[in-house]
Amino acid sequence: MTQMTALAALRRLGAAGGILYGVICAWSGTTIPSLNLWFVSEYLRNYFEGLFSRDRSEGLLGFWRAAVLRGVTLRRVLRLEIDHQRNIRAAGGPAAVAEDPTRLWRLGLLHVASARQAARAAKKAAAAMSAETGPVLKDVVLVGGGHSHAHILLMMGMEPIPNVRVTLITRDMETPYSGMLPGHIAGHYTKQECHIDLARLGRFARCRVVHAEVIGIDTVSQRVHVRSCLDDEGGRERPSLRYDVISVDVGCSPSTVGGLSGYDLQSSGGALGQHVATVKPIDGFSAKFERLVAGIAGWQEPHDILVVGAGAGGVELVLAIQHRLWTTLERMGKPRDWARLAIVSRSARIMPGHSRSVSNLMRKVVDERGIVVHTALAAQKVVKASDGKKEMLVCVTPFPANDECRLPFDECIWCTDGAPQAWMRDLDLEKDAGGFLLVETSLQARKKGGDVLPNFFAAGDCCSIRDHPRPKAGVFAVMAGMPLSKNIRAALEGRPMVEYLPQKEFLGIIGLGSRSAVASKADVALQADWLWDLKEWIDRAWMWKYTEGLPRMSSSASGPSDVAKVAGSEALQLLAKASMRCGGCGSKVGSSVLTGAIQRLQVEQPVHRNPEVLLGLDAPDDAAVVKQKGSTGVTVHTVDFFKSIVGDPYVFGRIAALHALSDCFAMGAQAQTALALCTISLGSDEVMSEDLFQIMAGANRELVAAGCTLAGGHTTEGPEPGFGLCVTGVADDLDMLMKKGGLKPGDALILTKPLGTGCLFAGEMQQRARGQHVSAALRSMLRSNEPAAQIARLQGSRTCTDVTGFGLAGHLLEMCKASEGIAVSLWLDQVPVLDGAEALVTEGIMSSLQPANFRSRRGIANEEAVAAAFAAGSLPRYPLLFDPQTNGGLLFAVSGGQQAASALVAALAKAGEDSWHIGVVSARPSSWEDGRFLTIKASALSA
């Protein structure tokens, strides 16, 4: 029935038709004529098409029940679309929304957050940005970054709880929104559009983010056992974390391992075939599917793709996969029927968890798309075909027939019921028949055969609610977020819990691969193209709240004082950035401040002269060197300290220790002993003791690896954590050490780590850096410089420094000043940078130390030309030469030109160390002004 035939039918009814038209118009909730007309026609079309096409076996009573239910459901669905159209009009109309879709998402949705919630959040958002919570008394630990925990983080950012610290432990830095994943597979959304960046959300919530995988929880000692996700060796257990209140929202794992969820999946080799993929974890499946799409270019014949699991997720997935493969094949000029898809259902019909009307409609769609449906088959194992070309899925029919059939495939994708995470099996808590945590309506867990644990919560797919079983669907995790947030607050504040009773029926909108969808609720199902637009509106509006819709971090809560206004523009700039100062090496003072103070000290208060100090303030190097009495040996002394650059105290301790040891490594000395300096924020004794332990444990791990003994230290309270080490090292004699000076014409310059930690962590503070880029930067900072230093010494290098607070340009200028008669050509295209760093500096996001470091541009001979090229957009990496690095790489000089450089790079690569040949040393032109040493070139081929 079209819009015109629906209206024509009303006209034939005369006055009754007019009354019916008026009643339906009133249901629309709008007085806009065009929307009224659309509402009436769509209501009638979907009402009668669905009602008279349904199964009539339920008799007259069932018919009238379905008639009423369909009428109510249709009204709700169409009212959502009316709200959608109203928002489009309010945002400036379809053309304005097409130009800037965020205009629509910023308007929000009444069914996503009530007007009361929205008003409350808006009222408190500004105040929360500058909230001072005082000393930490309680630790809340969130395990997993699921939908419920995303809501908790959002609420914690808007309404922080005084004296409470939140820690998120997550294996994945980006968590997918389940409602948009099929659209991502179909090619409608990018990965970034359908993933929540937990690093950004955590920064908004003032939450410590620990990038680790949970391997167990001890509910007696209240500790979480974790394995690091930042180690290249694939994960190493680290110290456990304490909690006062804990919540678990980790989803579920694939049910294709160990015969869980009724499947006895075992291939002949005891493992899944190489062409079998599970939908979870999502990141692994997404990467494998993208490889499948990329491989289409090499297809020379049809390919069979098999999806195991015919629930709503499996059916939506197979339609999305088909759409993506078809569009890709057509773009490449290949027949789209080369993508042959089939779906395997253990039930007698697809989507058995939905009503028969929904199942029948989806079966009709699947049949129309040419997807083969295998019903009443239980998958057993994967074996190789007899010809060895394809793999085979071995299935059996249900008891008693138990007949076996084999389905050939090129790719097999498992989208079956999930299973609990392996580590949850060892929890001494009550579980349901499937092994999932069994929680009360307060979302609190219960000891096995005992009482409710008042401080242990769970939500999402990893748990089931006692007496209220529901399917594992993202909608329930989303809806549980609000009561979970309230009950965690209640547990901390000693208030009663609220009940969460999950709804029995919910509106589901299932994508059909193309930009069309089916809406279902209870026994009602309808299909329309506009339903996809409605689904996209709902999904994108929800995602907006947790991504681009987060309030930006403010650098100042109030305006400048009268003193600042009188002090001038530089003082105003300093004040504006005072609350957004960087940590790590970005928190150090600038070179000009340091140099000026030391020079004045040497004039006004000269230091004591000691002939045994071979390298000190008179000839500054990476460390001071003192002659050992009675031998040719020397002792190396260095000290480093800075405030925390990362919320995870254990990782901070590791980075700070590696950074302090790096001065010893850069000189080629063996670190021997270390004294610790640690600042801890005020909190309860338990909190402060835990923080101190975590920092010291991280530092000691790196000291032990370097053969350096922690011999003592000093602690103090402070407004924020800080850590450093006084390191003592030894060497056989002074000549054995690598030093900053000694560059000679013809030397090649080698750098061992990419640049960008300063701007990336400045971006992290401002919620602008992506979590995966921050994690990559942390992995770089957690790499010790010791192996590279040892290899460089063996290859003949005697000139070296580590690139830290003053940036590559600043430290290279130090090397030039410590050498005689030389100049350096730096090849900008060969200078490595961390992912995301270039984009941030292009946006103007840089470390708070960057302006001080930028003063070293005076040492660049062609600085004006380089600055002009950067302004024109041709040298985007230029600002990164001044970016302060925390535990940055080593900068070596090796004599022998290109051949020696290639040999050193090859030797480092053989040991698993990255390195880049970034420049060359030459004789200094006599025409250059004093203090000019560097020439910046776009590449080695530049004139």
Vertex 933, ends 932 and 934: CA angle to 5°?
110
Catalytic: 585? yes
List, in sequence order, every residue forming a beta bridge with 521; answer none if it has no partner.
Answer: 524
Q: Omega of the bond prior to 160 within 30 degrees of 0, cis?
A: no
Look at residue 615 and give its three-state secondary structure.
Answer: strand
Q: Are 412 and 273 in contact (CB under 8 A)?
A: yes
Q: Cα(531)–Cα(528) distance, rounded to whole angstroms?
A: 5
Question: Which one of 415, 585, 678, 816 is the catalytic residue?
Answer: 585
Report the candidate in 933, 931, 938, 835 with the shortest Cα–Cα distance to residue 878: 938
DSSP letter for each residue of 587-614: GSPPHHHHHHHHHHHHHHSPPPP-TTEE
Q: Cα(669)–Cα(664) distance, rounded to whole angstroms?
A: 5
List, in sequence order, every residue forming a beta bridge with 175; answer none if it has no partner.
Answer: 196
Backbone angles phi, psi at 334, to 5 degrees: -110, 155
Question: 928-932: which pairs have CB atoms within 8 A and are 24 or more residues apart?
Answer: 928/823, 928/861, 931/858, 931/859, 932/858, 932/859, 932/860, 932/861
Dig out the tokens for 260 from the structure: 């869980």
List, in sequence order, every residue forming a beta bridge with 246; answer none if it has no partner.
Answer: 141, 456
Dig out the tokens for 852 from the structure: 């001080």
- Greatest alpha-carbon pair distance for the chain in Å reads 116
Sign of CA dihedral 822, 827, 830, 836: positive
DSSP letter for each residue of 170-232: ES-SEEE-GGGHHHHHHTSS-TGGGEEEHHHHHHHTT-EEEEEEEEEEETTTTEEEEEESS-T
Q: Cα(790)–Cα(668) distance, rounded to whole angstroms?
A: 7
Q: Cα(253)–Cα(282) distance, rounded to whole angstroms?
A: 10
Q: In terms of C-beta density within 10 A (0-12 exposed, 13-18 middle, 19 or more buried), how is residue 232 classed?
A: exposed
Backbone angles phi, psi at 650, to 5 degrees: -65, -45
Look at residue 708 and give its three-state secondary structure.
Answer: coil
The residues annotated with a catalytic role in the active site are 585
